[in-house]
Amino acid sequence: MNPTPDKFDAEQTRAQVRASYGKIALNEGSCCSATPNCCGSAPAAAEAIAQQVGYSAAELAALPDGANMGLSCGNPNALAALRPGEVMLDLGSGGGLDVFIGGRSVGATGRAIGVDMTPEMLAKARNNVSAYRERSGLNNVEFRLGEIEHLPVADASVDAVISNCVINLSPDKPQVWREIARVLRPGGRVAVSDLALVQPLPPAISEMVEALIGCVAGAVMVSETERMAKEAGLVGIELNSNSGYIDRMVDWQDPLYQKIIAHLPPGSKTSDYVTSLEITARKPSVSAGAPAEARAAPSAAVDNPPTCCSTDCCS
């Protein structure tokens, strides 16, 4: 088991991630290069990247401008198979890509909630809500300020939790998985696309701070991801690895990935160490003999007012 992360180091990591993604949101460059993208693509390539990892052209065309920032490493919406009337939660929602897509899936009787700790990202997503409403005719999305280790969401209030290339950035991943289990209703499900390790990174790469922000050095072993989800109380855990996404990074011109490639042992490639991982699981259902109040989690219970207001998301 990983030791509990040092509080000071954890806060340093969060501050670095927050500052870097704040610059991306403001189009002031990435955490590691002059292009406003942290995972290797220039803005013009964002749509191509999204299609490569599973988004349809129709889904992308319906998005508000700027919602797709090319920061994906999979399509958790497709994994979650969202249904009308459900409450969906996106961890690290960024510009709102998966929230706006998920909102159309859950429809007028459902709710799509995004949580992000970066104020600039939150502002970018909120500024696009009106365009989403006009295009979709729906008023069912919201964005909350908060850390994914401490979600501003009530217990057992969410049908599906998704996340796209974000959990690897957390300095306390076991806590993220515990929070996922906490907010899910009994029988609720999680669908995550993330980066994971198939073998430990060379020390020269794991020590590069910019590689952490670039979604690589913060990744953990595939087996570790499974263990954390299981210890959080989730069941039916399935892992699907796709190293092809990583191999395509060698064609990107982001200096971060060029630097990573330069530090690899001779004859090896990035996908020998890192993979794009799809993770699906569910929270166990309450047994039939449980009290009625434990079995019923009303759909409206998606807010946690004290936590929400303390993170300034009520505005």
**DSSP-assigned letters across all residues of 259-296:** HHHHTSPTT--GGGTEEEEEEEEEPPPPPTTS-HHHH-
Would 34 be classed as within a structural domain?
A: yes
List beta partners, residue 221: 197
How far is residue 142's CA from residue 243's CA, in Å, rounded to a whole number? Answer: 33
CATH number, domain containing residue 82: 3.40.50.150
Residue type, 106: V
Q: Report residue 206's pLDDT band, with 50, 70 and 90 as the boundaries.
A: confident
Structural domain span for residue 47: 28-285+295-310
How far is residue 231 from each of residues 57, 79, 222, 234, measured CA to CA in Å? 38, 22, 15, 7
How far is residue 15's CA from residue 33's CA, in Å, rounded to a whole number? Answer: 18
How far is residue 149's CA from residue 165's CA, in Å, rounded to a whole number? Answer: 15
Would 45 be classed as within a structural domain?
A: yes
DSSP category for residue 101: H
Would 16 be classed as within a structural domain?
A: no
Would 224 be classed as within a structural domain?
A: yes
For the chain, how many structural domains are there in total? 1
Question: pLDDT over 70 for what percent of the chain?
Answer: 65
- How would you class 272 by CB atoms within 10 Å of its CB: exposed for 0-12, middle for 13-18, buried for 19 or more? middle
The pLDDT of 271-299, averaged and rounded, is 70
- Residue 191: which of 297, 102, 125 has the closest Cα? 102
Would 70 be classed as within a structural domain?
A: yes
Would 315 be classed as within a structural domain?
A: no
> So what's the pLDDT on residue 284?
97
pTM (two decimals): 0.78
Would 115 be classed as within a structural domain?
A: yes
Q: What's the mean per-residue pLDDT of the chain? A: 77
The pLDDT of 86-107, averaged and rounded, is 94
Q: Give the range with max mean pLDDT: 4-13, 71-80, 133-142, 291-300.
A: 133-142
Would 20 be classed as within a structural domain?
A: no
Instruction: Enumerate residues 6+ apart whose C-beta is below 8 A from 203.
Output: none
